[in-house]
Structures are given as structure tokens and as C-alpha cells.
Amino acid sequence: MSELRPPTRLKSVALRKAKSAAFTGLLWLTGAIAMVPLVLIIGYVLIKGTPVMSGAFFTQTAPPPGMPGGGMAQAFMGTGLIVGIGTLFSVPLGVLTAVYLSEYGRGRLATVVRFVAEILLSTPSIVAGAFIWAVVVTTMHSFSAIAGSIALTVLMWPIITRATEETLRLVPNDLREAALALGVPRWKMVLRIVIPTAGSGILTAVMLAVARGFGETAPILLTSLGNDFINTNPLQPTDAVPLRIYNYAQSAFTQWQSLAWGGAVSLLAAVLVLSIGARILSDRQQRRLG
Amino acid sequence: MSDGLDIVGLSAWYGTDRVLADVQMEIRPGQVTAIIGPSGCGKSTLLRCLNRMHEELPNARATGSVMFGDWDLYAPDSDPTDVRLHIGMVFQRPNPFPTMTVFENVVAGLKLRGHYDRVNLKERAEQAMRQAGVWDELKDRLNKPGGRLSGGQQQRLCIARALAVEPQVLLMDEPASALDPISTQLVEDTIVQLKNEVTIVIVTHNMQQAARISDRTAFMLRESAERPAALIEIDDTRQMFTKPIDKRTEAYITGRFG
Amino acid sequence: MSEVSQSPRTEHDAETPVRRRLRIGDSVLSGTTVLISVGLVALLAALLWVLEQGAAPAFMKYGLNFFTSRQWDPVNDRFGALPYIYGTVVTSTLAILSALPISVGLALLLNEVRSRLLRNPLTVLVDLLAAIPSVVYGLWGLFVLAPFLNRYLAPALGATLGKLPILSALFVPTPAVGNMLNAGIILAIMIIPIITAVTREVIATVPHDLREAAMALGATRYEAIRMAVLPHARSGIVGATMLGLGRALGETIAVSMLIGNGLGISASLLAPGYTIPAIIANEFREATSTGMQHSALLALALVLVAIALFLAAASRLLVRRSERMGS
């Protein structure tokens, strides 16, 4: 080869390697930084909230201001009611939308539906609350559990749709073709083959959506309002755990504040169990369907 | 004249699967050595061990030694980055950086090594591109994205990129298998011209290609999935293709399997 | 898929009752799913329409003043949203600036770490960070993070960055417990998992070929990332940031617990502020139905959702483009 001039300044290989090592160190540092809040939040919630756990916490209702004792029974009941009805609404809607996208959807409509489902995931939850307030609360002239459920449905429907569609797509096409080749009509193939095969994946989607529903505060604030007493009538104002935590945390009474921590333990436990459970299920599902 | 490579007791693993066992092979300086064999025989793995790219794959590792002059590339204090500064590689699928221009692609390796003035960079890029037989086609498109070229041009661009840093050894992993006949011809011309300046090791599944361009040919075989692949025989190319010593080599070359 | 869906129609066969029932089953299921899917699109349309209807009176009455006036006075029925817009912009910017480098680093880390034993738990932990409800962030922020930041970070920033000529305005101390800095930091923690997840997805689509090309040229790990990975993932990272920004803009509860809910517009990050979601959460239930208050709040909700949906849509397009580059 012809002689070429050397570089004007050679980069030291040692320096380049040191830079790379420093960069790798920096990456690990970001990992550590992100883990700190997680550990601290779970730690503090456990430390401050566990002592509050008692029979009374789950069976008694809100204590009067400044008084000791009391619990969050009405909030647990309310959350169960609101999230329960919300799940009842959003599961069929979400799953059927996903069935459309994965089994029937073609062309422009499917593109639009998929796109809408995707961006609805980013709806600020407070906006879902304001929307349902304007539609449901003003027409019924009352805050109610059902309005809260509907607000949650706005948020849970796209979540279930997106996650379910993904899991339906994992079902091998061979299975579909095998069923159709046997002369099974398409709808039976979907209901008897595709959905059962995707089974635990759909459960995963529902668990993630329910976890989200448990934790939502802002939409419930504008639709269910809250209630100091146990309410089982879906048409009446109803309490919820996150709502109660929100109110108690900002109160001046230490008893209320400690109840807030107790509520946080229960909420965090429920949400983490659902999220980890969903993760385990979906890992297993993916391994099963390869 | 560059150094050759002396491969001593080289083995390679994927996880617990030992894919390459105890390879002994001498790569002579300034020659073209072709490695042939049926697919799955470990020839690409062997090649990737020579610049320590093998270990970049998940769960992959290698043991043994590869002597480059008196430098053992697998010594504990030997760094893979240093190895690759001297031993270049061209891959089966052309892989120019799509976000860089043609020119930036060619000088990418140079820029890693130091600061060059612009004239010097241009001279080097032109020389490398001439060697790779791609200068005339691309000299007016130096500022176009590297990803928008034809497959053959992309591959020759990658060869230019590898040559620009003046490596002593160039490893080529089936560099023409994804190319049309004309591009293949150009790549082969490049290899023949580089002879005596650069030591070249080329993996190919194309026996005619090995016969056309190489000085020496190695034949590798993995006889069963339970056993690792091994080097069966290495010899002068003419000798290999006319009077192979091992029966298995003969069977492969005459097309009885593989 | 396509050949499955075009199963041959049996028009010429005899229409036995069984066959007819089968066909009805098909139209029922496909009809229902189409109807419900259209319902999802209608839901989005309804959401925008309802908010627009509710917001219209406020927009008509105040016009552009709604966005530029600092007066938010329900008693005299005067509404200007500037303080909320300002607080939202400041806290979201702060959140993005702090979360972006950490998220990109984390995504690269999750992509670089080879050992599954380390990578999988790390991935799960980042996901868990996303699962924590915002009210729990708020509670922890109020009782743990904010006191800590007020005691250590705020003085430290004041003593360092606060000494610089222009930046000093940002760190003028105030006695307030809740402030925009605290709100921005809790937001940053909350959006890290979102930006990380999307960035990671995009980075995973960068072809292994390119990284190998860089390595074979003698690039170190850092150089390979700079040469091959980051340029390829750039638009996807922008998309991830936009998604994180959308989430930060709309986050309500944790922010309203930490920001101090003060109406002033202050340059200092250590002063209280207010955000759009927080004012909606705090005033909506108490608003009187006679004046413009509900309409003004719905107008803010409309602005919020329009920006959030726009960001989500743009983010999706960018991420998709980035991923297509990889294939």
C-alpha cells in the first residue's frame, strides 16, 4: 500500500477503553438511581403502614376528625364495587375489540381502531373523570359508584384491548387453519380454539387493567366523590381506597395520616401482586406458545 | 508484509454446546486462506474466533490460543478491542451504517483511531474505495446515505470500510453469498489484488470460489450434532481440489454430500 | 392470515339449516366485534365532543385571554389559566430533563447486560415502578421525599447552581413546603419506567449486524453504542420522550400533593405552583353550576387531552418509524 500520513493526533486506546468503562459504570448508576425510589417507596409504605393493619382497619369506617381508631372498611367496599363493575364493563368490551383486531380486522377500520386504542392509553385519567362527570354525573344529578366504574372503563378498555390483541396474536396460525380445515365455522374457531388457547394471556390483560383501576384516584374523585360510610348502592356516592389515602394524607390529623399509610400498604400489595402475577402468567404463556 | 495467524487448540462453545474442538491451523501471512465445509460445520464460528467476535454472541465463549506474531489473542490480558484494531472483518450480510453517508462509513474506523485532517481522510477513503473496487461507482455519491446503495455496492463499501484502517488480517465471512454474479466478480478481484499486502481468511460455501481465489484451503466438518466440528484437512488449494488426503474431503469436493 | 380469512364461500351448496346457523354465528360474532370496535372510536370522539361542548362557553367568553390572563377568580367569574399552564410546563420540563438521561441509560443497560440473572429482575423492577399508583407516589412524596428535598437538595442547588448569573433566579429560596422542584422530581420518577420501556423496545430493534460492524472496526462498547445504536434509535427515543411528556402533563394526584397549589407565577423552582390537572381535581367538585367555573375547568381538560393525545399519536408514529428502520 502507498504510504499515507498518520493521524494528526492518535487517540489513546487506553483512554478510549477507560471512557467506555466509565460509560458502562454510568449505565449501572442509572440502574441504581431508578431502583432507589422503588426500594424506598415499598420500604416506607411497609414500615409506616403495616402497624396500622388490624381487624378494625378493615371492619370500621372513617373515624371522626382527631379521634383515634377507625378504619377504611367503606373504602375497601367502595373500591371493590367501583372496580368490580368497571371490570364487568371493560372486559367484554376490551376482549371483543381485541378479537376484532386480531381475527376480523383488516383495512382502514382496523388501522383506525388500533391507533385509537393505542392513543387512548395516554388519556390523562383526570380527563376521563371530567368527561364522565359531564356525561353521567350531570344527567343522573348525583355522584355515584357507577359513574366511577364508567370512568374506569374509559381507561381500562384500551388497556385490555391492547394487551389481549398481543396475546391473541401469539396463538399460532396453524391452530386456526387446522380448525377451519375441519369445517369448523370461523366464530366457533375463535370462541373454542383461539380464546381458550390465549386464555391466561387474556387473564394477564385483565389483571393489569384491574391493577390500574385499583390505583386510580383522579377519575373517582370527579365521579364517585367519596363517602364516610359503607355504601353498596351503585347509584350513590361511594368511597375508594386511593381517594381516602389522598384525602387523609393532606389532612392535619396524625390518625388520619396513619390510616393513609395503612391504605397505601393494602393498595400497593394488591397492585404489586396483580402486576407480578400478570408478569409470571405472561412469561409462562409466552414460553408455552413459543 | 503482515503477520499470519497460528491457531492452537482452539475450542468454541454456545452455552454448554461445544461447537468447535481443538482446532490447529496455520494461516500463512500474505496468503488467501479459504475455509470450506457444509453448513453448520463451524467455519463461521472459527472465523469469528480469530478477531474475538464469537464471544459477542449471547452465551458464546472460546478457549485455546491464536498467535498473531508473538501476541496470543486469547491471553488473559489481551483485549478484544485491540485485536479488532489489527484484524478486520467483512460480514455475510452487508452492514453499512444506515445513518452515515458513504464517506462517513468508509472513514468510521479511522475516526475511532484518531483525529485526521480532512485531506488525509479523503485520500485514505479514496484508496480504500479503489481497493474495494467501488470508487468509480460511488465517488459522486460520497455524501449519500450508506443504506441506499445496491446490495453489491453496500458490501464493497463494507470492504472499503474494513480496508481503510489498513488491517494486517482481513476476515471475510461468505462475503459474496448475498451478491449478484457481477458484484461477486468484483469482490473476488479485490481479494486477489490484496494478496501479499493483507492476510485474508475467507469462509465460503462456494468451492469454485475457493479454488479461484485462495492459496490454501481448509476443510471443516461436523460429523454429528453430538460432536463438535473439527478441521479435517488443510493444504494448498490445488492439492486439496485435485488430490485430497482425507476421504471425507474428497467426498465433499466431489459433491457426494453437503 | 389472509388465506384463512378468505375461506371459500359455499354459495352453491344447498342451504341446510345447519349451514345457515353456522353462517349466522359468523355474522353475529364479527358484527358484534365490529360494533364494539367502532364504539371505541366513538368513545374518543364523544370524549372530545363533550369536552368541547362544555368548554365552548368559556372559550367564547374569554377568548385568548383564557390562556394569557393570570386571574382565576371564581367569585367574580373571571378565569385566566396562565398560572396552571405555567406550572404544568415547568414541572413537565423539569421531569423530562431529569428522567430522559436516566431512562435512556437504563434502557441501554437493560439491553447491554448479558446475564439473564441480572437482566430479568431489573426489567421486572422497572415495570413495578410503573405499577405503583400515583396516590402512593404522592403520599411518599409528601411525607418522605419533599422534606428530604427541602432540607438537602434545595439548599445544595441554591449554593451551587444558584450562584450562577442566570440560573440563580430558578433557586430563590421560599419558605413553602410544596414547590415545583419537588413536583418535577416525583414526576420524573413516575415517567422513568414509561420512557425506559419504549426506548428499550426501540433499541432492541437495532440490528445486531450494525453493532457487530462497529465492534469489528475496533469500537469499544461505548463507541459501538454511539456509532450504531443511538443514531438508529434517535427518533424512537424522541417518541418515547413525547409519551413520557404526555404522561407528565396529565399526572394529577401526586403533583397536586407536592406542588403546593399556589397561584403565583414565580421563576423560582422552589416556589409553589399549580398545574392544569391539579386545579381540575381540586375545584371540580366544589364548582358552582351557575357561573363559568365548570366550563373553564372543562376547557382546561380539553386542552390537556388534546395535547396528550397529540403527543401519543406523534410518539407512536416516531417509534414505528424507528422500528421499521431496524427491519
- The CATH number of the domain holding residue B139 is 3.40.50.300
3-state secondary structure of B113: helix
For residue A133, the chain C residues in CB contact (below 8 A) are 284
How many structural domains are present in chain C? 2
Is the CATH number 1.10.3720.10 carried by domain A58-289?
yes
Same domain for C93 and C108?
yes
Q: Under a CB-based contact definition with an 8 Å cutoff, are residues C127 and A208 in contact?
A: no
- CB nearest C126 (choices: A34, A44, A276): A34
- Distance separating alpha carbons of residues C127 and A176, to the nearest angstrom: 33
Confidence of residue C12 (pLDDT cuts 50, 70, 90): very low
- CB nearest A249 (choices: C142, C189, C196): C142
Q: Under a CB-based contact definition with an 8 Å cutoff, are residues A259 and A228 in contact?
A: no
- Distance separating alpha carbons of residues A235 and A240, to the nearest angstrom: 15
- Residue bearing the bigger pLDDT, B62 or C120: B62
Task: Classify strands B114-115 and A9-10 as parallel, antiparallel or unpaired.
Answer: antiparallel
Q: Identify the pLDDT of residue A5.
A: 60
CA angle C168, C171, C173 (to 5 degrees): 125
Q: Which residues of B55-67 are buried (b: 16+ CB within 10 A; e: fewer)?
A: ebeeebebebbbb
Q: How many CB atoms lie within 10 A of CB B116?
A: 21
Nearest chain A residue (CA) to C51: A131
- CB nearest A30 (choices: C37, C102, C285): C102
Q: C217 and B161 in contact by Cβ < 8 A?
A: yes
Same domain for C55 and C97?
no
3-state secondary structure of C242: helix
Q: Identify the pLDDT of residue A7.
A: 65
Distance of CA B10 to the CA centre of its chain: 17
3-state secondary structure of A250: coil
Same domain for C72 and C56?
no
- CB nearest C36 (choices: A93, A116, A154): A93
CATH code assigned at C183:
1.10.3720.10
Q: Identify the pLDDT of residue C131.
A: 95
Same domain for C57 and C147?
no
Q: A9 and B114 in contact by Cβ < 8 A?
A: yes
- Distance separating alpha carbons of residues B40 and B38, to the nearest angstrom: 6
- Distance separating alpha carbons of residues A193 and C69, to the nearest angstrom: 60
Structural domain that includes position C306: 65-326
Looking at every residue in chain C, the average pLDDT score rounds to 90
Read off the pLDDT of residues C250-280 as tens digits, 9 standing for 90 and up. 999 999 999 999 888 999 999 999 999 999 9
Read off the pLDDT of residues B192-240 as tens digits, 9 standing for 90 and up. 999 888 999 999 988 999 999 999 999 999 888 888 998 999 999 999 9
Nearest chain C residue (CA) to B165: C217
For residue C316, the chain A residues in CB contact (below 8 A) are 115, 118-119
Confidence of residue C174 (pLDDT cuts 50, 70, 90): confident
Boundary residue ending a domain (C62, C80, C114): C62
Boundary residue ending a domain (C21, C37, C62): C62
Nearest chain C residue (CA) to A187: C26
* C265 interfacial to chain B (CB closer than 8 Å): no
* B53 interfacial to chain C (CB closer than 8 Å): yes
For residue B109, the chain C residues in CB contact (below 8 A) are 217-218
* C294 interfacial to chain B (CB closer than 8 Å): no
pLDDT in tens, chain A (290 residues): 445 566 666 778 889 999 999 999 999 999 999 999 999 999 999 999 999 999 999 999 998 888 888 899 999 999 999 999 999 999 999 999 999 999 998 889 999 999 999 999 999 999 999 999 999 999 999 999 999 999 999 999 999 999 999 999 989 999 999 988 888 888 889 999 999 999 889 999 999 999 999 999 999 999 999 999 999 999 999 999 999 999 999 999 999 999 999 999 999 999 999 999 999 998 888 888 76
Same domain for C176 and C289?
yes
Same domain for C19 and C73?
no
Q: Under a CB-based contact definition with an 8 Å cutoff, are residues B129 and B139 in contact?
A: yes
Q: B81 and A7 in contact by Cβ < 8 A?
A: no
Q: Identify the pLDDT of residue C1.
A: 38
Q: Identify the pLDDT of residue C7.
A: 44
* B120 interfacial to chain A (CB closer than 8 Å): yes
Same domain for C132 and C55?
no
The residue whose grid cell reads 366485534 is C33
Of chain B, the percentage scoring pLDDT greater than 90 comes to 64
Mutation choice for C interface testing from B99, B101, B161 by most C CBs within 10 A:
B99
- Domain-located, residue B136: yes
3-state secondary structure of B109: helix
Q: B124 and A11 in contact by Cβ < 8 A?
A: no
Domain ranges of chain A: 58-289
Boundary residue ending a domain (C15, C46, C62): C62
Tally C-beta pairs within 8 A across B and C: 62
Q: Per DSSP, what are the bridge partners of residue B7?
A: B25, B66
- Distance separating alpha carbons of residues C95 and B154, to the nearest angstrom: 42
Checking if the pLDDT of B258 tops 50, the result is no
Cell of A223: 365521579
* C216 interfacial to chain B (CB closer than 8 Å): yes
Taking the CA of residue B166 and the nearest CA in chain A, the distance in Å comes to 9
For residue A13, the chain B residues in CB contact (below 8 A) are 81-82, 85
Same domain for C54 and C89?
no
Same domain for C6 and C79?
no
Q: Under a CB-based contact definition with an 8 Å cutoff, are residues A38 and C129 in contact?
A: yes
- Domain-located, residue B258: no
pLDDT mean over C32-57? 96
pLDDT mean over B167-174? 94
* A17 interfacial to chain B (CB closer than 8 Å): yes
Q: How many CB atoms lie within 10 A of CB C188?
A: 24
* B85 interfacial to chain C (CB closer than 8 Å): yes
Structural domain that includes position B193: 5-253
- Distance separating alpha carbons of residues B63 and A121, to the nearest angstrom: 50
Taking the CA of residue A111 and the nearest CA in chain C, the distance in Å comes to 11
Of the listed ranges B140-149, C18-27, C57-66, the one predicted with least confidence:
C18-27
pLDDT mean over C24-43? 93
Instruction: Give the DSSP per-residue string, A137-203.
Output: IHHHTS--HHHHHHHHHHHHHHHHHHHHHHHHHHS-HHHHHHHHHTT--HHHIIIIIIHHHHHHHHH
Same domain for C47 and C71?
no
Q: Identify the pLDDT of residue A102.
A: 94
Read off the pLDDT of residues C196-234 as tens digits, 9 standing for 90 and up. 999 999 999 999 899 999 999 999 999 999 999 999 999
Taking the CA of residue B257 and the nearest CA in chain C, the distance in Å comes to 31
Q: Identify the pLDDT of residue B1.
A: 47
Checking if the pLDDT of C8 tops 50, the result is no
Q: A120 and C142 in contact by Cβ < 8 A?
A: no
